[in-house]
Amino acid sequence: MTRDAKRQADESVPLNTPTAIHCLRILTVNTHKGFTAFNRRFILPELREAVRSTAADLVFLQEVVGEHDRHSSRYDDWPQTSQYEFLADSMWSDFAYGRNAVYPDGHHGNALLSKYPIREFRNLDVSITGPERRGLLHCVLDVPGHAEVHAICVHLSLLESHRQLQLKLLCQLLESLPDTAPVIIAGDFNDWKLHGNAALALRADLHEAFERHHGRPAKTYPARFPLLRLDRIYLRNATSHAPRILGNKPWTHLSDHLPLAVEVHL
């Protein structure tokens, strides 16, 4: 190659092009508002250290507090920021929050912590009737090497009839997304009868990580002696690898749910 030809070849490569990312480490956890089971002890600082130890790229949080005036004056180690900002700390540069439940002292909802830029986000209110407030936090991520990656943090109702309606709304959201874009759906589905899982399984383009690798979704509740399969990680246009239930200490006392972790290959 001549010197001029080499110069032209070098100039055709954009400078500072980020390296394409093909693997994302995913964690989903119901934080139980920063308390142990039955609200016996406030353990958010311990939970932050445990979450940091996973080195996850994306963290899907449910029941995370945005604000609580009474607790902030009652607990000396209550953070000065929202719980999701406290958990993000310096490890996750971007975060998004979807406020679901609002009460006199404050509010809580779903959140996503991300090591990659969150290009845009929206919180879809999927509450049906009554006091139970639920949402789908939908984020569009800017992951190098991909036009867009979609992350949806889910917390569904305790009532079967409400969950079925909420799953229909989730499917409508999925239908609105680009057919070829990677989609990661994670959170607390409260689907102990597995009816919702069966409905989502009918969608040929979705798979649940633990069901694919182990035959059934993971048992995550209650954390000390898990019997119910409440938490899930679903994927579209991506593959799951090495799914894990984080069932050892300290996780068993950091919430009433056990977290789930998985590698997602794009």
| Rounded CA separation 153/134 (Å) | 11
The string of pLDDT tens digits covering residues 88-108 is: 998 999 999 999 999 999 999
Closest by Cα among 126, 194, 187, 175 to 151: 187
| Rounded CA separation 170/79 (Å) | 33
pLDDT of residue 4: 53
The mean predicted confidence, pLDDT, of the chain is 93
Cα 216 to Cα 102, 187, 230, 240, distances in angstroms: 34, 16, 11, 14
pLDDT confidence bin for 160, thresholds 50/70/90: very high
Is the pLDDT at 7 greater than 70? The verdict is no
Q: List strands edge to edge, sheet with 231-236.
A: 118-125, 135-141, 149-155, 183-188, 231-236, 207-208
pLDDT confidence bin for 3, thresholds 50/70/90: low
Give percent above pLDDT 70 in the chain.
94
The string of pLDDT tens digits covering residues 211-255 is: 999 999 999 999 999 999 999 999 999 999 999 999 999 999 999
